[in-house]
Copies of this chain bind each other. A is one copy, B any other.
Amino acid sequence: MSEAPHLTFDLDKPGVSTGHLVVPKGADCAALSLSVFSLNRGEGPRLLITGGNHGNELEGPIVARRLVGWLPRAQTCGRVIIVPEINPLAVQAWTRNTPIDGKNLNRVFPGRADGSVTERIADAISRLLLPIADTIFDLHSFGPGWDFPPTATTLPIADPDLMRKTFLMTEAFKLPLTLLWEHPEASGMMDVLAQSKGKVIVCVELGGGNVNSEALAIYEAGVRNALIALGLVEGKAEYPTFRRQRCSQTLQTRRSFDELKSPARGIFEPRCSVLDEVKEGDIIGMLHPWDSLSADAIPIRAPSASIVYAVRSGAYVDVNEEVAMVAHPLNRPLMEVVSHLIV
């Protein structure tokens, strides 16, 4: 019988400590050691920051490691636990899913102690890290292949109190976009598990493909704003500059209405930018049919007045692949009764 998941150090120790979360070995691979940082300044909020949930989204691991560098000088109270790469196998392989079992870590929570390696990672996090936090920041990005603005997101939550608390935390990042995201496949997400335990969880997203210094500066500013809002560090929260603007907008998606698909097999050409406002019929992109250079390119048009929040990178696409996503300004009174509207 294999050992149970465990931490190699005492998270209750005051001040800075580092060590590992050990995910037991299984039939498919040896035990894993996930690097963990803990900074315990006593009473106050208990925050867990995770990165590297998907292995080709490196903004999170980098910003998490930058926090490890400066939090010891800045944190005044409470507890922060940071795990920069919760799926180190996927990070090393630069793949969304774990290469060994092909599973998406963010679809297998709460995991299984006797499952494949991705399920064992989820199990270790669910049992040893989530219980000690009241707030979680899961640092994602949209991964290569999409353009996406720096965004703090939350799923709709049935409990109106938790929805309100979560939404305020999401807006506290002051990122260019705050998104209430009716995600089409939320089952098995860490978000859903954390919310079922009454915890506030915010998922940070950012596009697209290239992890560069400008994008990292915006991402880190958003996380710092949220730490200030929690009272963990002192300072003044400020909107980061994105495309020469310092402001944020709050949007919501409507499941299954707001995804634009490729009308044919071919090369997708993006014709708009993220956060562009479009009218019904505006061209979002063009589809160049694959098999012939004599056929005309097919315009892909906005279905309604909306704001483009995700645009596929130029790429070969099959018919019916997603190429863009649009959203709408949040209806705030609607938001107040969101618990009655979601299933």
Chain B neighbourhood of A147, CB < 8 A: 210, 212
Residue contact A37 to B313, C-beta cutoff 8 Å: no
A210 vs B210: C-alpha distance when bound (angstroms): 7
User: Among the listed B144, B209, B216, B271, which residue makes an inter-chain contact with A213, where contact means beta carbons less than 8 Å apart?
Assistant: B271
A222 CB within 8 Å of chain B: no
Q: Answer whether residue A76 sits at the interface, using C-beta atoms and an 8 A cutoff.
A: no
Interface pair A213/B18, CB less than 8 Å apart = no
Q: Let me know if B58 and A315 touch, CB within 8 A.
A: yes
A245 contacts B by Cβ under 8 Å: no
Docked complex: A266-301 residues within 8 A CB-CB of B: 267, 269-273, 288, 291-294, 297
* A210 CB → nearest B CB, Å: 4
Could you tell me which residues of chain A, from 291 to 318, have a CB within 8 Å of some CB in chain B? 291-294, 297, 311, 313-316
Enumerate A172-214 residues with CB–CB distance to B below 8 Å: 207-214
CB distance from A276 to the nearest CB of B (A): 9
Cβ proximity bits A140-157 to B, threshold 8 Å, 1 near / 0 not: 000010110000000000
Q: Does residue A239 face the partner (Cβ distance < 8 Å to B)?
A: no
Q: Which residues of B contact A311 (CB under 8 A)?
A: 212-213
- Give the copy number: 2
A212 touches B270 (CB 8 A): yes
CB pair B212 A293 closer than 8 Å: no
* A68 interface residue (CB < 8 Å to B): yes
Whether the pair A209, B144 counts as a contact (CB closer than 8 A) is: yes
Q: What bracket does the count of chain A residues touching chain B fall in?
A: 35 or more
C-beta contact mask, A28-55 vs B, less than 8 Å → 1, else 0? 0000000111000000000000000000
Residue in B84, B271, B297 whose CB lies within 8 Å of A65 = B297
Give A168 to B216 CA distance when docked, in angstroms.
Answer: 38
Q: Is the CB of A273 within 8 A of B65?
A: no
* B293:A211 contact, CB within 8 angstroms: no
Decide if A92 is an interface residue (CB 8 Å cutoff). yes
Interface centre among A35, A85, A271 (most CB of B within 10 A): A35
Q: A94-B316, A144-B144 are in contact. Are A210 and B213 (CB under 8 A)?
A: no
Q: How far is the CA of A206 from the CA of B82 in the complex (A)?
A: 35
Q: Which residues of B contact A68 (CB under 8 A)?
A: 293
A35 closest partner in B (C-beta): B293
Known A-B contacts A18-B292, A293-B18; A212 and B208 likewise in contact (beta carbons under 8 Å): yes
Per-residue interface assignment for chain A, residues 226 to 252, with 1 indicating a CB less than 8 Å from any chain B CB and 0 otherwise: 000000000000000000000000000
Please give 10 more A-B residue pairs, beta carbons under 8 A apart, in addition to A213-B272, A213-B311. Answer: A35-B292, A37-B293, A59-B314, A62-B269, A65-B267, A65-B269, A65-B288, A84-B288, A91-B316, A213-B273
Instruction: List 10 A-B residue pairs with CB atoms under 8 Å apart, sorted by A's residue number.
Output: A18-B292, A59-B314, A62-B288, A65-B269, A65-B297, A94-B316, A144-B144, A210-B210, A211-B314, A213-B273
CB-based closest 4 A-B pairs? A209-B209, A211-B314, A209-B210, A208-B210
